[in-house]
Amino acid sequence: MSGSGDKTSNTKTPADFLKSIRGRPVVVKLNSGVDYRGILACLDGYMNIAMEQTEEYVNGQLKNKYGDAFIRGNNVLYISTSKGTSAEGA
């Protein structure tokens, strides 16, 4: 029985993951294939995302840098944590 209790305490939901990465570098991939890399400022239940120190990448090439960016949730394909983004290393 104690094994089932341990399993429950180690289970993380997607909401837990999203809460844990706030304030950390992330990569947001859009349905169009464009990537945005920066610091996750906040997000809501509709996956609307606010980012800071944002960089826009098209086909792997840096196209623009933005101070702050807002991405509408219906455009988001995925969000992943980013290790060593230029925003973090700058």
The answer to whether 43 and 50 are in contact (CB under 8 A) is yes
- pTM as predicted: 0.76
Do the domain assignments include residue 10?
no
The answer to whether 90 and 84 are in contact (CB under 8 A) is no
Do the domain assignments include residue 48?
yes
Q: What is the distance between the alpha carbons of residues 40 and 18, in angstroms, rounded to a whole number?
A: 9
Residue type, 56: E
The residue segments making up the domain with residue 56 are 19-81
Do the domain assignments include residue 89?
no
Q: What is the distance between the alpha carbons of residues 41 and 59, in angstroms, rounded to a whole number?
A: 25
Q: What is the mean pLDDT of residues 7-14?
A: 71
**12-34 pLDDT, tens per residue?**
888 888 889 999 999 999 999 99
Q: Work out how many domains the chain is built from and give that number.
A: 1
Do the domain assignments include residue 6?
no
